[in-house]
C-alpha cells in the first residue's frame, strides 16, 4: 500500500480550479460538478517532473485504474514522483513495478509464497501480540487515564508481522523495540513530498514538498532493519533464489512489503476501525460482543477462520470501515493509449501517456452506488448487502476479485481482511465497550483510548 494524504482543502482546491473540464460529449462536465477533470498535483517540479493529472472522482470512472490493459503502473505507487531507489537498497521494489516487467510476477510470487507458508502462524501470533497491546493499553489507562492507541498498535503490529512471517521476535535481537520508530523515519523519507506533518503550510511547501530529504541521512536506520530481515528470512531467500531473484533484492522487497505495505497499512486500518467503532457507540459494541462471543463459545473457545465466517456483523463492519475511509486514498495509472473514460453522465477523452489520478473516497462514497454513503452503516454488507462488495476498492481492485501475478491488486488482500477480523474478535472478546478521542495525524488519525469496559458476559 502507499499511504498518501491529500488534505480536504487540497481536494477543494483541485475541484475549484477545474471549471474548464475536458468532456468530449457532455458540456455539463465543464461545470463545477464534473467528476473527471485535469489538474496539477503536488509535489513541485524539483521532485515531480510532470505534476499534471486527470482526476477521477466517481465510482464509475475510478475502476479504469485497475485495468492494466489500459493503464501502466510503473513507478507511480506514490503518485507523480518516485522516491529515490537509494531508500530501497538501489532496487525498484515490487510496488513500483508494472505487471509487464518480468520481476513483477517473480516478486509477487514470493509474497504469495510468504503468505501461504506462514498462514498457520497468523491466528496464534496475532493473539500473542495483540494480547500485549491490550495489556499495555490497560496499564496506561490505569496510570494516566488515557492511552495512545497508535503507539501500542505500532509495537503490536511490528512484532506480530516479524513473529508471524519471519519467526523472529524483534525484542530478542539487536533491533529491540526500535522497529516501529525506524520504519516511521524511513517512511518520512519516502513520502515527505506529499505528507502533511502539521508544520505551517508555507514551511512544509518550501521544504519537504519542494526538496527530497537526502537518503544518506536514513541509511544507518534502514541498515538495521535490513540486517534484522536478512537474518530472519533464510528460507524465504532460498525460495527467492529458486524464483530467480537474488537474496539481496528479495530481502529489500520483503522489508518493503512488511514495513511499508503491511505495517503501514495495519497502522491506518486498525486506527480507522477504532475511530469509526468508537464513534458508533455502545449499542453496536454490544451487538458485536454478542455475535463474536457466542460464535467463539460454540467453537469451544477457539478463534478460527471458519468461525469468523459465521460473524456477519463483524465482517460487515470491517468492510464498512474499509469503504468509508479507504486506507490508501490515492491511486494512479498512466494511460497506455488514447482512452475514453466514462463517468456516470459523461465521457472524457484522455491521451496516451496522461497520468490518471483517482481519489478513492469519492468512488466508495458515491451516492449513486451507496445509500447513506457518508454514514458508517455497520451492517451495510450483511446478507443482500454483500452484492455491494464489488464497490469496495481499498485493495486497488474490487473486493470480489483476487490479486494475481498479472494485476496490481494488493498481494495482502485476504491477509488484511483476516487480521482486521481478528482485531475485532480479540477486542470484543475482551471488552463490552470502549471510548476514544480522535485527532488528526500525518498518516491517518491519532486515536487515544479513554475507557475500556471489561467483558461482563
Ligand atoms: C494493511 C493494509 C493494506 C492496505 C490498505 C494495502 C493497500 C494496497 C494498495 C492500495 C495497493 C496498490 C497500490 C497501487 O498500485 O496503486 C497495494 C499493493 C500492494 N500491497 Fe497492499 N495493502 C495493505 C497490506 C498489505 C499486506 C499485508 C501485504 C503483504 C503481502 C501487501 C502487499 C502489497 C504488494 C506486494 C503490493 C503491490 C502489488 C503488485 O505490484 O502487484 N499489502 N496494497
Please give all residues whose beta carbon lies within 6 A of any atom in ligand 1, as ranges: 1-2, 73, 77, 94-95, 97, 104, 108, 111, 115, 257, 261-262, 265-266, 269, 327-328, 331, 394-396, 408, 410-412, 415-416
> Cα(356) to centroid of ligand 1, in Å?
19
Residue 1 has pLDDT above 60, yes or no: no
Residue 350 lies in a domain: yes
Going by C-alpha positions, the residue among 90, 64, 47 that lies closest to residue 208 is: 47
Residue 79 lies in a domain: yes
Mean pLDDT, the chain, whole residue set: 91
pLDDT at position 209: 83
pLDDT band at 211 (very low <50, low <70, confident <90, very high): confident
In the chain, what are the helix, strand and coil shares in percent, each to the nearest 5?
50, 10, 35
> Cα(152) to centroid of ligand 1, in Å?
23
Give the residue carrying C-alpha cell 516479524: 162
| Closest ligand 1 atom to 407 CA | 41
Q: 340: helix, coil or strand?
A: strand
Residues near 416 by beta carbon (within 8 Å), at least 6 away in sequence: 265, 266, 269, 395, 410
| Closest ligand 1 atom to 326 CA | 5
> Cα(53) to centroid of ligand 1, in Å?
22
For a mutational test of ligand 1's pocket, the pick from 411, 418, 420, 422, i.e. the residue with the most ligand atoms closer than 8 A to its C-beta, is 411
**How many Cα atoms occupy the beta-carbon half-sphere of 16 within 13 Å?**
6
- The answer to whether the CB of 71 falls within 8 A of the CB of 333 is yes
163-209 per-position pLDDT tens digit: 999 999 999 999 999 999 999 999 999 998 888 877 788 888 888 88
pLDDT at position 205: 81
41-56 per-position pLDDT tens digit: 888 788 888 889 999 9
Count of domains observed in the chain: 1
Residue with CA at minimum distance from ligand 1 atom 20 = 410
User: Which range is least confidently modeled, 181-195, 239-253, 322-336, 411-425?
Assistant: 181-195
Residue with CA at minimum distance from ligand 1 atom 6 = 1
> Cα(112) to centroid of ligand 1, in Å?
12
Q: Tell me what the mean pLDDT of segment 220-237 comes to.
A: 98
| Closest ligand 1 atom to 408 CA | 41
> Cα(396) to centroid of ligand 1, in Å?
8
pLDDT at position 208: 81
Q: How many CB atoms lie within 10 A of CB 82?
A: 17
Report the alpha-carbon distance of residue 104 to residue 99 in Å, rounded: 5
DSSP state of 397: B
Residue 22 has pLDDT above 80, yes or no: no
Residue 38 lies in a domain: yes
pTM of the model: 0.93
pLDDT at position 33: 62
- The CATH number of the domain holding residue 56 is 1.10.630.10
Residue 12 has pLDDT above 70, yes or no: no
251 annotated binding-site participant:
no
86-127 per-position pLDDT tens digit: 999 999 999 999 999 999 999 999 999 999 999 999 999 999
> Cα(257) to centroid of ligand 1, in Å?
8
Residue with CA at minimum distance from ligand 1 atom 35 = 411
pLDDT at position 30: 46
| Closest ligand 1 atom to 3 CA | 5
Residue 277 lies in a domain: yes
Residue 8 has pLDDT above 70, yes or no: no
Q: How many CB atoms lie within 10 A of CB 70?
A: 17
Q: 404: helix, coil or strand?
A: coil
pLDDT at position 110: 98
Residue 2 lies in a domain: no
pLDDT at position 201: 82
Residue 4 has pLDDT above 50, yes or no: no
**How many Cα atoms occupy the beta-carbon half-sphere of 339 within 13 Å?**
24
Going by C-alpha positions, the residue among 447, 444, 443 that lies closest to residue 137 is: 447
Residue with CA at minimum distance from ligand 1 atom 22 = 1
Residue 17 has pLDDT above 60, yes or no: no
379-395 per-position pLDDT tens digit: 999 999 999 999 999 99
pLDDT at position 444: 76
Residue 1 lies in a domain: no
Structural domain including 70 reads 8-454
Amino acid at each position: 500500500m502507499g499511504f498518501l494524504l491529500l488534505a480536504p482543502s487540497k481536494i477543494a482546491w483541485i475541484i475549484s480550479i477545474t471549471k474548464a473540464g475536458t468532456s468530449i460529449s457532455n458540456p455539463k462536465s465543464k461545470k463545477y460538478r464534473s467528476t473527471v477533470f485535469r489538474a496539477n498535483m503536488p509535489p513541485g517540479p524539483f521532485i515531480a517532473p510532470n505534476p499534471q493529472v486527470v482526476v477521477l472522482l466517481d465510482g464509475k470512472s475510478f475502476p479504469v485504474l485497475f485495468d492494466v490493459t489500459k493503464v501502466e503502473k510503473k513507478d507511480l505507487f506514490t503518485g507523480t514522483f518516485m522516491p529515490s531507489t537509494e531508500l530501497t537498497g538501489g532496487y525498484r521494489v515490487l510496488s513500483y513495478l508494472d505487471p509487464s516487467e518480468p520481476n513483477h510476477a517473480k516478486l509477487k510470487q514470493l509474497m504469495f509464497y510468504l503468505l501461504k507458508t506462514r498462514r498457520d502462524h497468523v491466528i496464534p501470533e496475532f493473539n500473542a501480540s495483540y494480547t500485549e497491546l491490550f495489556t499495555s493499553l490497560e496499564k496506561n489507562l490505569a496510570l494516566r487515564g488515557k492511552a495512545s492507541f497508535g503507539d501500542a498498535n505500532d509495537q503490536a503490529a511490528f512484532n506480530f508481522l516479524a513473529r508471524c512471517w519471519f519467526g523472529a521476535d524483534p525484542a530478542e535481537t539487536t533491533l529491540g523495540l526500535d522497529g516501529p520508530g525506524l520504519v516511521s523515519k524511513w517512511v518520512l523519507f519516502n513520502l515527505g513530498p506529499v505528507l502533511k506533518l502539521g508544520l505551517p503550510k508555507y514551511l512544509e511547501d518550501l521544504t519537504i514538498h519542494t526538496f527530497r530529504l537526502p537518503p544518506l541521512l536514513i541509511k544507518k536506520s534502514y541498515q538495521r532493519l535490513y540486517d534484522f530481515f536478512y537474518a530472519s528470512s533464510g528460507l524465504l531467500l532460498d525460495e527467492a533464489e529458486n524464483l530467480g531473484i537474488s537474496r539481496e533484492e528479495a530481502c529489500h522487497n520483503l522489508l518493503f512489503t512488511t514495513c511499508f505495505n503491511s505495517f503501514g497499512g495495519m497502522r491506518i486500518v486498525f486506527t480507522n476501525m477504532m475511530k469509526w467503532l468508537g464513534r458508533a457507540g455502545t449499542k453496536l459494541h454490544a451487538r458485536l460482543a454478542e455475535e463474536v462471543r457466542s460464535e467463539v463459545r460454540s467453537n469451544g473457545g477457539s478463534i478460527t477462520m471458519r468461525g469468523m465466517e459465521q460473524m456477519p456483523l463483524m465482517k460487515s463492519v470491517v468492510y464498512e470501515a474499509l469503504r468509508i475511509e479507504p486506507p490508501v486514498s490515492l491511486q494512479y495509472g498512466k494511460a497506455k493509449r488514447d482512452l475514453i473514460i466514462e463517468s456516470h453522465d459523461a465521457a472524457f477523452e484522455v491521451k496516451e501517456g496522461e497520468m490518471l489520478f483517482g481519489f478513492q473516497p469519492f468512488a466508495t462514497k458515491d451516492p449513486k452506488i451507496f445509500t447513506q454513503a457518508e454514514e458508517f452503516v455497520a451492517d451495510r454488507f450483511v446478507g443482500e448487502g454483500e452484492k455491494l462488495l464489488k464497490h469496495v476498492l481499498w485493495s486497488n481492485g474490487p473486493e470480489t476479485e483476487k490479486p494475481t501475478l498479472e494485476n496490481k491488486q494488493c498481494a495482502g488482500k485476504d491477509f488484511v481482511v483476516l487480521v482486521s477480523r481478528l482485531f475485532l474478535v480479540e477486542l470484543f472478546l475482551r471488552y463490552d465497550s470502549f471510548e476514544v478521542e480522535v485527532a488528526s495525524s500525518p498518516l491517518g488519525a491519532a486515536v487515544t483510548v479513554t475507557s475500556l469496559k471489561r467483558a461482563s458476559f
